[in-house]
Amino acid sequence: MKKLAAFVFGLFLSMSAIAAEPLLSASAVQAALTAPNTVLIDIRDPKSYAAGHIAGSLNAPYGTWRGPATNPGELPSIANLSKLVQRLGLTPDTHVIVTSSGKDETDFGAAARVYWTLKVLGLQNLSILNGGLKAWQAGGLTLDNKPVSGTASSFVPTINQSMIATREDVIANVKAGKSLLVDARPVEFFDGSTRHTAAKVPGTLKGAVNVEHSTWFEPNSTNVVSAGQAKKLLASTSVQADQDVVSFCNTGHWAATNWFVLSELVGQKNVKLYAGSMVDWTQADGALPMDNVPNRFKQLYIDAKLRLAK
């Protein structure tokens, strides 16, 4: 009887692991941390982590999941990503919970981008702390300042290309129009009024529609809406529920929020992230198709404003 009970309990745990919710409240994270094989990753900078973090969480700053300054949306090499997940002790059986500061809507994009990266690497049991450390503290939960190091794993990840749209994929898509190109940036980027400092040209991908990443947050909050609310909000956008989507922005950061909501909350089957996004697109050797590109005079004006803002 005891063996049967142990088997049932083990089965329950494995089923719970498989059924991890992509978006967890602070109280749900607190409960999840009592389960075995759960790793909480704090993606804030080391100084912020040292000042106070959720007890037991491991620090893996957001920058370690990103590409170089010239193209920050680019995925790091598989060798570097492997070292990172191994240092954190991650395996396909680990329930990974990602948290950021929760200071604003843009901050959530960092957590979503790390979540996407982990899923690209083959990890499936993933969650994000909704509202980050801000929500954790608002819930009356405490922080710790003791440094934590995990037990390294030998997990060797591989890249799941089905979740990635490369520049070549997007070029083909612009020609064939197979997937809807969804620009997650604020409208001033979409309409060509400004650009990312690493992008060469303002504007957006040819044929793209604009669904700002901020669409998916509760009013006056840095918490993402529930899956049910996300499905209702989808009806007010240009995205159809059964449509193939390529999400992009400047560097695959804001776009990760759109990817997360559409793929993980709404449940759309074929949502890809163009990680390099407009920075990668505009750095191509030859000019690629774009919409909303301002005239040369306005581009010079935008260049001057960006220089003054440095």
Q: Give the pLDDT confidence score for residue 310 in this predicted structure.
A: 80
Q: Give the pLDDT confidence score for residue 147 in this predicted structure.
A: 86
Contact (CB, 8 A) for 117 and 159: no
Paired strand residues for 129: 24
Phi, psi at 238, each rounded to 5°: -90, 5
Paired strand residues for 224: 217
**What is the rounded average pLDDT of the residues 111-131?**
98
Q: Mind giving me the DSSP string for 112-148?
A: HHHHHHHHHTT---EEEETTHHHHHHHTT---B----
Q: Give the pLDDT confidence score for residue 291 in this predicted structure.
A: 98
**What is the rounded average pLDDT of the residues 229-235?**
95
Q: Which residue has the tokens 């950061």?
A: 253
**What is the rounded average pLDDT of the residues 79-106?**
97
pLDDT bin (cut points 50, 70, 90) of residue 18 is low
Domain 164-309 belongs to what architecture? 3-Layer(aba) Sandwich (3.40)
Residue 9 confidence (pLDDT) above 90: no
> In angstroms, rounded to a whole number, what is the distance separating the alpha carbons of residues 107 and 166?
24
Assigned CATH class of 19-160: alpha beta
Of 8-12, 25-29, 124-128, 162-166, which range is least confident?
A: 8-12
> In angstroms, rounded to a whole number, what is the distance separating the alpha carbons of residues 247 and 262?
9
Of 53-57, 67-71, 96-100, 106-110, which range is least confident?
A: 67-71
pLDDT bin (cut points 50, 70, 90) of residue 119 is very high
Q: Give the pLDDT confidence score for residue 149 in this predicted structure.
A: 86
pLDDT bin (cut points 50, 70, 90) of residue 295 is very high
Residue 15 confidence (pLDDT) above 80: no
**What is the rounded average pLDDT of the residues 226-238?**
95
Please give the mean pLDDT across all residues of the chain: 93
- pTM of the shown model: 0.92
Please classify residue 285 by burial: count the beta carbons closer than 10 Å to its beta carbon, then call 0-12 exposed, 13-18 middle and 19+ buried: exposed
The per-residue pLDDT for range 164-208, each reduced to its tens digit, is 999 999 999 999 988 999 999 999 999 999 999 999 999 999 999
Indicate where the chain has its CATH 3.40.250.10 domain(s).
19-160, 164-309
**What is the rounded average pLDDT of the residues 128-140?**
97
Residue 6 confidence (pLDDT) above 80: no
> In angstroms, rounded to a whole number, what is the distance separating the alpha carbons of residues 226 and 242?
19
Paired strand residues for 49: none
> In angstroms, rounded to a whole number, what is the distance separating the alpha carbons of residues 65 and 72?
9
> In angstroms, rounded to a whole number, what is the distance separating the alpha carbons of residues 265 and 229?
9
Residue 299 confidence (pLDDT) above 80: yes
Q: Do the strands 95-99 and 38-42 form a parallel or antiparallel pair, or are they unpaired? A: parallel
Q: Give the pLDDT confidence score for residue 69 in this predicted structure.
A: 87
